[in-house]
Amino acid sequence: MAESVIKERTLTDLTNEEIGRYSRHLLLAEVGIEGQKRLKASRVLIVGTGGLGAPLALYLAAAGVGKLGIVDFDFVEESNLQRQVIHGTRDVGRPKVASAKDRIKSINPYCDVVIYNTMLSSENALDILKDYDVVADGTDNYQTRYLVNDACVLLGIPNVYGSIFQFEGQASVFYAKEGPCYRCLYPEPPPPGLVPSCAEGGVVGVLPGIVGTIQANEVIKLIVGGGDSLTGRLLLFDSWKMKFRELKLDKDPQCPICGKEPTIHELIDYEQFCGLKKSTTEEPVETITATELKQRLDENEPIQIIDTREPHERAIVKFPEAKAIPLGQMARRIDEFDPAIDAVFICKIGQRSIFAIRALREAGYTGRLLNLKDGINAWAREVDTSLPVY
Ligand SMILES: [Zn+2]
């Protein structure tokens, strides 16, 4: 049975108001007065106030965590509201940390909320994380996930991990003192662009609610002590099939940060590690803005427009006069292109269409290939505002 991560901390008594508020915890022998005092003395950092960060912050605040730090640099957007239940419709346009703080305070005024309206980076991560007992990772990208992992290992703090995509989620506790870390499970990030983000691939709204509350549950157990944590176990959840599975995770003795002979002793450049810095060998992709494309169409220039999106995305919004060719068929259908005419490739946000251009280049296509910058969403914002942004 796991010991509390703050077992050495000096605890202060609960007030009568706190006893009233947390009575359903106090009635549990596993939590009790001692456990609740530990929650009150605890400091938890939540990285990201999106889909996972929302239930994490809501439930940890309600549970009586004394100090909650929240890190996010983003602003609330309409498309967040389908799952990021800490933000309301009136919060659209506000910094996520400000909106989250208001909501946390309305749930539990006893919770001390510290906001970091910034992007977590190699420069600030150790400084921010060192003041916390537990870190809950609610990020949606690989560079921050490796950064959070490494900072937690270096500081000796448990990292309560969750991730989501479409209908599937994962959760674990990476606590290098007692078990594996994220690098033991995934030594290398996937090649950039290979794994689509939720912004491109979608996510069912309740999924982060389920995975984020699992993370909150793990955080509470680490603080209170006791129970069986997800340390050394990877929980896999499929919400479409409604199935939970579990994989046993071992610590990798060769792990570069938590293994026997670590080679990483400080934070590194995570953008480079995740392959996000532009490589000098790769030929850059030429872009065209939505406004430029509109001008060329207005001037009746011949242009081939290729929509690389999936059929269910084209059902959301159609691009005028575009030919639909799914990404996977691009190279095979090279003969349908005329190399004498410029070809413009579109997708939702201008990421996947880059792969279409690369695929055609690799297949030996010689004509000019242009990528619509920021995708059909840019067209809807800049050119035809009657179209929806999704
Ligand atoms: Zn490791």
User: 330-374 pLDDT, tens per residue?
Assistant: 989 999 999 999 999 999 999 889 999 999 999 999 999 999 999
- For ligand 1, a single-atom ion, the residues with CB < 5 A are 181, 183-184, 255, 258
User: Maximum distance among all alpha carbons in the chain?
Assistant: 79
Q: Is 184 a catalytic residue?
A: no
Query: What whole-number distance in Å separates Cα of residue 215 and Cα of residue 138?
Result: 9
One digit per residue, the tens of pLDDT, for the chain of length 390 reads 689 999 999 999 999 999 999 999 999 999 999 999 999 999 999 999 999 999 999 999 999 999 999 999 999 999 999 999 999 999 999 999 999 999 999 999 999 999 999 999 999 999 999 999 999 999 999 999 999 999 999 999 999 999 999 999 999 999 999 999 999 999 999 887 777 888 888 999 999 999 999 999 999 999 999 999 999 999 999 999 999 999 999 999 999 999 999 999 999 999 999 988 765 567 789 999 999 999 999 999 999 999 999 889 999 999 988 999 988 889 899 999 999 999 999 999 998 899 999 999 999 999 999 999 999 999 999 999 999 999
Amino acid present at 21: R
Q: Quick one: pLDDT at residue 262?
A: 96
Q: Quick one: pLDDT at residue 299?
A: 96
Q: Which residue has the tokens 């929240």?
A: 70
Task: Of 377, 200, 380, 350, give the one whose Cα is nearest residue 288.
Answer: 350
Whole-number Å distance, alpha carbon 72 to ligand 1 midpoint, is 26
Task: Of 251, 253, 240, 233, give the one whose Cα is nearest residue 207.
Answer: 240
Cα–chain center distance at 116: 17
Query: What whole-number distance in Å separates Cα of residue 88 and Cα of residue 94?
Result: 10
Give the active site residue among 111, 184, 198, 258.
198
Task: Of 342, 339, 305, give the one whose Cα is nearest residue 325.
Answer: 305
Whole-number Å distance, alpha carbon 177 to ligand 1 midpoint, is 10
pLDDT in tens, 45-100: 999 999 999 999 999 999 999 999 999 999 999 999 999 999 999 999 999 999 99
Query: What whole-number distance in Å separates Cα of residue 86 and Cα of residue 184?
Result: 32
Whole-number Å distance, alpha carbon 256 to ligand 1 midpoint, is 7
Note the residue count of the chain: 390
Query: What whole-number distance in Å separates Cα of residue 83 and Cα of residue 79?
Result: 9
Burial letters 135-150, b for 16+ CB under 10 A, else e: bbbbbbebbbbbbbbb
Burial letters 173-195, b for 16+ CB under 10 A, else e: bbbbeebbbbbbbeeebeeeeee
Which helix (H) or strand (E) is 211 found in, with range? helix 206-224
Which tokens in the block code for residue 124? 């600030």
Burial letters 32-45, b for 16+ CB under 10 A, else e: eeebbbbbbbbbbb
Q: Is 347 a catalytic residue?
A: yes
* Burial status of residue 107 (CB atoms within 10 A of its CB: 0-12, 13-18, 19 or more): middle
Whole-number Å distance, alpha carbon 181 to ligand 1 midpoint, is 4
Whole-number Å distance, alpha carbon 187 to ligand 1 midpoint, is 8
